[in-house]
Amino acid sequence: MFNPFTPTLGATPPVLTGREEILEDFRRGLLNGPGSPERVTLYSGQRGMGKTVLLGEVAEIAEAEGWITITETGYPGFTERLTTNLLPTVLNGLEPGTASHLTGVSVGPVAANWSAGRARYPVTETLRSQLQRATELLAGHESGVLITLDEVHHSQIGELRELGAVIQHAITEGRDIAFAGAGLPVALDIVTSDAVSTFLRKAERQEVGLLGSVDTARAYSATIENSGRKIGRLALAAAVDAAGGYPFMIQQIGYRAWLTSPDTVEISLSDVENGISLARRRLDQQIIGPLVSDASPTAQRFLAAMSVDEGPSHMSDIMSRLGCNANYASQYRLHLISAGYIAPVARGQVDFVLPYMREHLRGLVAAQSWDNAEAPTVTDAPVQSELQVTHTPLTSRRSRRPRL
Ligand SMILES: Nc1ncnc2c1ncn2[C@@H]1O[C@H](COP(=O)(O)OP(=O)(O)OP(=O)(O)O)[C@@H](O)[C@H]1O
Ligand SMILES: [Mg+2]
């Protein structure tokens, strides 16, 4: 039988659970008209949380409402790609006299003459002029333009400002335009604190986080049952528990459990257990390992100090394990929260965001015989550069994305 799980990053799962509210907010923004805050939203989440999938869903909602969508990734040159390729493609499909094949929107004649023959002062099309034109052509059809930008990162702040300024103008002019960006929490923190771009600072922020256990169970059971197999109560409970609400793990476990005995109707507890152990290996290789190696040495020690605990860690314990003062520890705490590694869970306590990061760190500590002798004994606050998440050789694996 066909394996319905989608263990590949960016692949839309057959059953998308737990994102109803976020998607409804976006739909409301589209329907409410220009100026509604949800029309400019940034989706923030740790790796593997489902940001790319969410952007795809947002684009589908917009298309279902008759909007044109342009999807881009925030790698260098995206403003140029928009100007020289994506927007011209959209306009070619919209200009009167051309068959509109983009969303089936039929666009009538418009007053302004766009390609005005041989002009004395030739006009070069810009991002702004093309977006203006596209929104003009769509006006009156209850349609607009949505731009989605995945992997928003502060290393491209110049282009983000440029795109932001153009979208800001369009919004001020009352045009039907929407923007949905996605990125890692720390990258979005930096981007949204940019003093120059009001657009980015004012964007709505939606957290794409872990799913609850009910949504996780539904993701498994509906996916399995829709594809003609079954899963028992105990096996389902084990799969839900092991995924910890983490979308990446839900798909990994489901995919590998399904493959374990593909010819039986029911996925058994031992199929799930096998799936969990294979999925954990993938998680370590693809997500946890690169994340830990991207952290600075001191941030790694902070995380290693947390891994001693079975559950949430008290800041007082972390401080005594690291031999550092409260100011120092609290700066790393804030930094690791903003980078999406840890989250505050109660007063004075933090915990890991991703399942199995604790176990991964324990393995590293054991393998490298770390002990408190290696912990920083500094009592001053760390300098800013120490707080950066940088690539360090804790593992030799390289991250596949720009470093934070
Ligand atoms: N709501 C969901 N329910 C179940 N599975 C999901 C959900 N959202 C995403 N997934 C699955 O989780 C995995 C990660 O999704 P996605 O690639 O969108 O994450 P991401 O946040 O963009 O990760 P990255 O930061 O690495 O780009 C994929 O396998 C996807 O199929
Ligand atoms: Mg992604």
Q: How many CB atoms lie within 10 A of CB 399?
A: 14
Decide whether any atom of ligand 1 lies within 6 Å of the 48 Cβ.
yes
Centre of ligand 2 from the C-alpha of residue 47, in Å: 7
Centre of ligand 1 from the C-alpha of residue 328, in Å: 34
Decide whether any atom of ligand 1 lies within 6 Å of the 9 Cβ.
yes
Centre of ligand 1 from the C-alpha of residue 238, in Å: 21
Decide whether any atom of ligand 1 lies within 6 Å of the 13 Cβ.
yes
Q: Where are the domains of the chain?
A: 20-207, 213-290, 295-387
Decide whether any atom of ligand 1 lies within 6 Å of the 291 Cβ.
no
What pLDDT was estimated at residue 98? 63
In this prediction the pTM is: 0.86
Degrees, nearest 5: CA angle 210-211-217: 140
Which residues are CB-contacts of 221 (< 8 A; sequence separation ≥ 6)? 231, 236
Dihedral angle over CA of 283, 285, 286, 292, nearest 10: 90
Ligand 1 pocket test, candidate residues 6, 22, 42, 52, most atoms within 8 A of CB? 52
**Cα separation, 260 vs 231, whole angstroms:** 13
For residue 42, which of 203, 263, 178 has the smallest C-alpha distance? 203
Centre of ligand 1 from the C-alpha of residue 208, in Å: 10
Decide whether any atom of ligand 1 lies within 6 Å of the 338 Cβ.
no
Centre of ligand 1 from the C-alpha of residue 319, in Å: 34
Centre of ligand 1 from the C-alpha of residue 358, in Å: 21
CATH architecture of structural domain 20-207: 3-Layer(aba) Sandwich (3.40)
How far, in Å, are 41, 128, 177, 198, 287 from residue 202 at the CA level?
A: 9, 20, 15, 6, 30
What pLDDT was estimated at residue 198? 84
**Cα separation, 153 vs 42, whole angstroms:** 12
For residue 212, which of 245, 186, 179 has the smallest C-alpha distance? 245
Decide whether any atom of ligand 1 lies within 6 Å of the 181 Cβ.
no
For the CA of 17, the nearest atom of ligand 1: 1
Q: What order do you get walking across the sheet with 313-314 strand by strand?
A: 313-314, 349-352, 342-346
**Cα separation, 280 vs 268, whole angstroms:** 18
pLDDT tens for the 404 residues of the chain, in order: 799 999 999 999 999 999 999 999 999 999 998 889 999 999 999 999 999 999 999 999 999 999 999 999 999 999 999 999 999 999 988 877 665 544 544 443 333 334 445 678 878 889 999 999 999 999 878 899 999 999 999 999 999 999 999 999 999 999 999 999 999 998 999 999 988 788 888 999 999 999 999 999 999 999 999 999 999 999 999 999 999 999 999 999 999 999 999 999 999 999 999 999 999 999 999 999 999 999 999 999 999 999 999 999 999 999 999 999 999 999 999 999 988 899 999 999 999 999 999 999 999 999 875 554 444 444 444 444 444 443 333 333 333 333 33
Centre of ligand 1 from the C-alpha of residue 49, in Å: 5
Decide whether any atom of ligand 1 lies within 6 Å of the 6 Cβ.
yes
Centre of ligand 1 from the C-alpha of residue 356, in Å: 17
What pLDDT was estimated at residue 205? 95
Degrees, nearest 5: CA angle 43-152-329: 80
Which residue has the CA at smallest separation from atom 28 of ligand 1?
A: 9
**Cα separation, 296 vs 284, whole angstroms:** 18
Q: For residue 27, count CB atoms less than 10 angstroms from its CB and return exposed for 0-12, middle for 13-18, buried for 19 or more.
A: middle
For the CA of 56, the nearest atom of ligand 1: 18
What pLDDT was estimated at residue 94? 85
Residue 368, both tokens: 């490298």
Decide whether any atom of ligand 1 lies within 6 Å of the 216 Cβ.
no
Hey, is 41 helix, strand or coil?
Answer: strand
What pLDDT was estimated at residue 109? 38
What pLDDT was estimated at residue 403? 32
Centre of ligand 1 from the C-alpha of residue 48, in Å: 5
Please identify which residue in the block is written with the tokens 């999807």. 71
Decide whether any atom of ligand 1 lies within 6 Å of the 51 Cβ.
yes
Decide whether any atom of ligand 1 lies within 6 Å of the 19 Cβ.
yes
E strand or H helix at 68, and its extent? strand 68-73
Hey, is 79 helix, strand or coil?
Answer: helix
Decide whether any atom of ligand 1 lies within 6 Å of the 319 Cβ.
no
* 213-290: CATH topology: Helicase, Ruva Protein; domain 3 (1.10.8)
What pLDDT was estimated at residue 117? 54
What is the chain's length? 404
Centre of ligand 2 from the C-alpha of residue 43, in Å: 11
Q: Which amino acid is at 87?
A: L
Residue 83 DSSP class: I
What pLDDT was estimated at residue 179? 96
In CATH, what number does 295-387 get?
Answer: 1.10.10.10
Dihedral angle over CA of 185, 187, 188, 194, nearest 10: 150
Q: Which amino acid is at 118?
A: R
Ligand 1 pocket test, candidate residues 16, 44, 49, most atoms within 8 A of CB? 49
Which residues are CB-contacts of 128 (< 8 A; sequence separation ≥ 6)? 166, 169, 170
How far, in Å, are 69, 189, 332 from residue 326 at the CA level?
A: 48, 24, 10
The ligand minimizing its distance to the Cα of 51 is: 1
